[in-house]
């Protein structure tokens, strides 16, 4: 019996049929996913049909074969309006996740979301009873009840086996394993990813984590550091006890705090330079610290090249600092930007200090922000989408030391790139942009 598996990509839940040529994707908001769980069943093998409990109008549904496949909900046919021709060619979800026609592999899961995939799938399981879906393919393909595939063997644990950090001891984790684990932790604990200071972990490897004390975790994330520390100790003890023979004895949170390094940078452990940067008013990626030793001599797992790729990415936690919003003038009659009272309060703008499109590009290349903040729609074509547009705007504003930055303003700047063909518009798609011929550095590097 073929299996129907899902892959979550940011806000998108990707559903594959039993044929690699067929795929169907729908996107919806996290809120809707959580509060109004879409109900999904598969009917038939090739093609297939997806059945939703909610109105189809609520979803942005794309099919690769709209002309050949007729999809029906239990109430109404799929509106042609909802078929987006631009999304018909999506190699992104093809062979890598489809080993053969019968069994479909589950791709990497974005664990950065609040909602739990297993909750969603369990809800889907319960929906099938009492529902008589209609299905029509080419007007002559009968509905085949016996081909209905339930999702009973999809559990979160299976999904987790896809994550690389699980296959190695903590002290061998690289920076990406650390990031992945923190994402996994956030999903496990139902903690919003954006509330966790994940950027503070991006320069750490597993070896650093195993040597860090509770207080160190608090310095990385004042809100969740304690819980992350405890979870890590639990993880090491109960999941990787066979690996961690070189790891220091573990203490419960609250102990050993007298042993922690000082924040003033006098310690000698390799992660301390990172902690020293993560103090209020200082971004760990700002690169403005005047002490060259603190950034170059530490034995962080990051190479210089890797470090440079994230050096200007600001702390997410700091985004949550109080923002003084500019109130909109109503009917002032005066157009244009008003004179700035505090002209020196802003970071340098204009040329030479990182352009907006480069900032966006680097977010896309950073697993900390892709896909939770921004994600590729079709990477090979340079098409991307803002997942949390307001958060990206805050990041951009933080970079420019402009706390009043909004997505509206950011998007205006994005649209100015149309003229120079750094970006190209993607008509009909909200929050979607495309890199133009004058944008560089976004294409995946081919390894020879």
Partner DNA sequence: GCGAACTTTCCTGATT
Partner DNA sequence: TAATCAGGAAAGTTCG
Any contact of residue 402 with DNA (CB under 7 A)? Answer: yes
Task: Write down the least CB distance from residue 326 to DNA, Å.
Answer: 4
Any contact of residue 332 with DNA (CB under 7 A)? Answer: yes
Q: Rounded to an integer, what distance in angstroms lies between the CA atom of residue 232 and that of residue 209?
A: 8
Produce one character per residue of 262-288: b if its CB has 16 or more CB atoms within 10 Å, e if not: eeebebebbbbbbbbbbeeeebbbeee
CB-based contacts of 442, cutoff 8 Å, min separation 6: 361, 364, 365, 382, 435
Q: Which is nearer to DNA, 70 or 315 (CB)?
A: 315
Residues 209-248 that bind DNA (CB under 7 A): none
Any contact of residue 407 with DNA (CB under 7 A)? Answer: yes
Q: State the DSSP H helix or E strand holding residue 24, giving kind and residue range, or none if neither.
A: strand 23-27
Judged by CB under 7 A, the residue of 432, 434, 436, 442 near DNA is: 432
Any contact of residue 280 with DNA (CB under 7 A)? Answer: no
- Give the residue ranges of DSSP H helices in 374-428: 389-399, 407-420
Contacts by residues 43-46 (CB-CB < 8 Å, ≥ 24 positions apart): 43/133, 43/135, 43/143, 43/144, 43/147, 43/148, 44/135, 44/137, 44/141, 44/143, 44/144, 44/147, 45/2, 45/17, 45/18, 45/19, 45/147, 46/17, 46/18, 46/19, 46/22
Beta strands 60-62 and 42-43: pairing type?
unpaired
φ and ψ at 9, to 5 degrees?
Answer: -125, 95
Residues 49-68 that bind DNA (CB under 7 A): none
Judged by CB under 7 A, the residue of 102, 408, 440, 441 near DNA is: 408
Residues 375-394 that bind DNA (CB under 7 A): 386, 389-390
The closest alpha carbon to 113, from 375, 377, 429, belongs to 375
Judged by CB under 7 A, the residue of 127, 173, 384, 396 near DNA is: 396
Task: Write down the least CB distance from residue 87 to DNA, Å.
Answer: 15
Binding string, residues 302-331; x marks residues near DNA by CB under 7 A:
------------------------x-xxxx
Binding string, residues 334-373; x marks residues near DNA by CB under 7 A:
xxxxxxx-xxxxxxxxxxxx-xxx----------------
Q: Which is nearer to DNA, 34 or 400 (CB)?
A: 400
φ and ψ at 7, to 5 degrees?
Answer: -130, 130
Q: Which is nearer to DNA, 216 or 362 (CB)?
A: 362
Q: Which is nearer to DNA, 268 or 324 (CB)?
A: 324
Q: Which is nearer to DNA, 164 or 345 (CB)?
A: 345
Number of residues that bind DNA (CB under 7 A): 55
Q: Which is nearer to DNA, 149 or 389 (CB)?
A: 389
Judged by CB under 7 A, the residue of 158, 415, 437, 443 near DNA is: 415
Task: Write down the least CB distance from residue 112 to DNA, Å.
Answer: 18
In this chain, which stretch among 138-146, 151-159, 249-257, 412-420 interacts with DNA, using CB under 7 A? 412-420
Any contact of residue 412 with DNA (CB under 7 A)? Answer: yes
Q: What count of other Cβ atoms lies within 10 Å of the Cβ of residue 32?
A: 15
Task: Write down the least CB distance from residue 91 to DNA, Å.
Answer: 24
Q: Which is nearer to DNA, 132 or 332 (CB)?
A: 332
Residue 335 in tokens: 């157009």
Q: Which is nearer to DNA, 50 or 374 (CB)?
A: 374
Q: Rounded to an integer, what distance in angstroms lies between the CA atom of residue 116 and that of residue 118?
A: 5
Rounded to 5°, the CA angle 259-270-240 comes to 80
Q: What count of other Cβ atoms lies within 10 Å of the Cβ of residue 155?
A: 13
Q: Is the peptide bond preceding residue 371 cis, with omega within 30 degrees of 0?
A: yes
Binding residues (CB under 7 A) for DNA: these are 326, 328-332, 334-340, 342-353, 355-357, 386, 389-390, 396-397, 400, 402, 404-405, 407-413, 415-418, 420, 425, 427-428, 430-432
């Amino acid at each position: 019996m073929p299996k129907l598996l899902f892959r979550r990509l940011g806000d998108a839940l990707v559903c594959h049929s039993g044929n690699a040529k067929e795929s169907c994707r729908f996107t919806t908001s996290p809120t809707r996913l959580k509060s109004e769980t879409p109900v999904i069943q598969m009917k038939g093998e090739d093609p297939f049909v997806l059945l939703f409990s909610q109105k189809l109008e609520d979803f942005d549904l794309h099919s690769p074969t709209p002309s050949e496949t007729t999809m029906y909900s239990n109430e109404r046919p799929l509106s042609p309006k909802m078929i987006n021709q631009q999304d018909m060619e999506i190699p992104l979800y093809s062979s890598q996740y489809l080993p053969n026609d019968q069994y479909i592999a589950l791709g990497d899961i974005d664990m950065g979301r609040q909602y739990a995939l297993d909750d969603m799938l369990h809800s889907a399981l319960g929906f099938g009873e009492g529902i008589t879906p209609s299905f029509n393919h080419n007007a002559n393909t009968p509905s085949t009840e016996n081909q209905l595939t339930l999702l009973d063997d999809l559990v979160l644990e299976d999904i987790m086996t896809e994550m690389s950090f699980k296959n190695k001891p903590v002290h061998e984790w690289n920076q990406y394993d650390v990031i992945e684990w923190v994402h996994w932790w956030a999903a496990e604990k139902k903690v919003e990813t954006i509330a966790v200071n994940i950027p503070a972990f991006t320069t750490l490897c597993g070896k650093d984590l195993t040597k860090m004390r509770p207080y160190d975790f608090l310095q990385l994330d004042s809100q969740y550091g304690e819980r992350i520390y405890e979870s890590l100790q639990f993880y090491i003890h109960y999941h990787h006890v066979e690996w961690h023979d070189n790891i220091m004895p573990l203490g419960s949170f609250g102990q050993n705090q007298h042993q922690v390094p000082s924040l003033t940078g006098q310690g000698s452990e390799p992660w301390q330079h990172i902690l020293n940067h993560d103090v209020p008013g200082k971004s760990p990626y700002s690169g403005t610290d005047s002490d060259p030793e603190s950034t170059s001599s530490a034995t962080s797992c990051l190479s210089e090249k890797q470090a440079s790729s994230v050096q200007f990415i600001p702390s997410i936690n700091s985004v949550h600092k109080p923002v003084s919003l500019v109130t909109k003038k109503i009917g002032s009659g005066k157009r244009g930007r008003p004179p700035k009272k505090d002209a020196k309060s802003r970071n340098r703008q204009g040329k030479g200090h990182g352009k907006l499109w480069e900032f966006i590009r680097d977010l896309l290349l950073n697993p900390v922000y892709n896909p939770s903040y921004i994600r590729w729609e079709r990477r090979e074509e340079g098409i991307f989408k803002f997942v949390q547009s307001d958060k990206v705007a805050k990041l951009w504003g933080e970079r420019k030391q402009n706390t009043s930055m909004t997505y509206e303003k950011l998007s205006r700047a994005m649209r100015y790139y149309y003229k120079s063909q750094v970006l190209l518009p993607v008509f009909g798609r909200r929050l979607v942009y495309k890199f133009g011929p004058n944008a560089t550095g976004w294409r995946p590097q081919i390894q020879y």
